[in-house]
């Protein structure tokens, strides 16, 4: 079964469990700039492609960084694909991450 989460601002639910917890973890990873977490400078994604035009090459670079960061920080999931949604009013390009549970992972 596949699930999708949009890397957009959303309130943190400290009691989240199951798929809601995984979605929240993925959003946190994707919306955190690498180097901004004091005790874990490797956490998050390298956002340097965001300073360049979002052409196919830079979008592919950003996708690779998103997938690598999720694999490293949320080992319970496997990324199926990363799509991008335009948020017209804000001018932002929001990653939409589709994922599934890794084989053998059970959520309580």
Radius of gyration of the chain (CA): 14
- Show me where the domains of the chain are located: 2-101
Q: Confirm if 102 and 77 have CB atoms less than 8 A apart.
A: yes
Q: pLDDT of 33-84, one tens digit each?
A: 999 999 999 999 988 777 777 788 888 888 999 999 999 999 999 999 999 9
User: How distant is the alpha carbon of residue 9 from its chain centre?
Assistant: 12
Q: Is residue 23 left, alpha or beta, with left meaning phi > 0 and alpha meaning psi from -120 to 50?
A: alpha
User: Distance between CA atoms of 25 and 69, rounded to whole angstroms?
Assistant: 11
* pTM metric for this prediction: 0.87
**Residue 8 burial class via C-beta count within 10 angstroms: exposed 0-12, middle 13-18, buried 19 and up:** middle
CATH topology of domain 2-101: Nuclear Transport Factor 2; Chain: A, (3.10.450)
| DSSP 8-state symbol, 67 | H
**Residue 5 burial class via C-beta count within 10 angstroms: exposed 0-12, middle 13-18, buried 19 and up:** buried
Query: In this model, does residue 90 exceed pLDDT 80?
Result: no
């Amino acid at each position: 079964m596949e699930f999708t989460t949009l890397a957009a601002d959303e309130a943190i639910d400290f009691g989240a469990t199951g798929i809601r917890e995984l979605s929240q973890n993925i959003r946190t990873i994707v919306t955190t700039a690498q180097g901004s977490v004091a005790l874990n400078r490797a956490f998050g994604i390298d956002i340097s492609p965001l300073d360049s035009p979002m052409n196919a090459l830079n979008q592919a670079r950003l996708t690779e960084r998103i997938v690598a960061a999720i694999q490293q920080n949320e080992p319970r999931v496997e990324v199926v694909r990363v799509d991008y949604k335009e948020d017209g009013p804000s001018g932002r390009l929001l990653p939409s991450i589709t994922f599934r549970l890794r084989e053998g992972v059970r959520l309580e």
